[in-house]
Amino acid sequence: MDQEKFGTLPIIDMTGPNGTPFPQSADSFLYAHSAVVAAGQAAWEGVFFDIDKFAPYTSTECDGEWLLYVPDQAYALATGKGWDRSTRYCSRASPTRMAGRTWPADVDYRLMGIS
């Protein structure tokens, strides 16, 4: 899904001051991308054949940002340590550490196989 046709879609429920479409930022695209992947194989396969199926995931109501932190949380739960992200390779899926980051209280980690 890292294609211009997805990244140039506007945020579906936002407009600029003059009613113009509000563009996705790099972050909002990453959150939408994550939400599509989390929606399942049928969803992410479907967007390749119909770009309009990606548009709802750009909504401010469909925030996939928290999904970017699941690997960190899973690692911490499994090892009791923070994940040292020192690597010679850059990974877009490795979120920037955020001081004071709190996890959404309504996330049921059991659904992701994390207890």
Q: Which helix (H) or strand (E) holds 28?
A: helix 26-38
pLDDT in tens, 45-92: 999 899 999 999 999 998 889 888 888 898 899 999 888 766 555 444
Q: What CA–CA distances, in Å, run from 83 to 8, 75, 86, 98?
A: 33, 6, 9, 13
CB-based contacts of 62, cutoff 8 Å, min separation 6: 32, 35, 56
At residue 40, the pLDDT reads 93
**Residue 15 phi/psi, 5° resolution?**
-135, 160
Residue 105, pLDDT above cutoff 60: no
Q: Minimal CA–CA distance to 66: which of 26, 24, 113, 106?
A: 106
Whole-number percent of the chain with pLDDT over 90: 46
Whole-structure pTM value = 0.67
The two structure tokens encoding residue 74: 């899973």
Q: What region, left, alpha or beta, does residue 15 occupy, with left being phi > 0 and alpha being psi -120 to 50 degrees?
A: beta
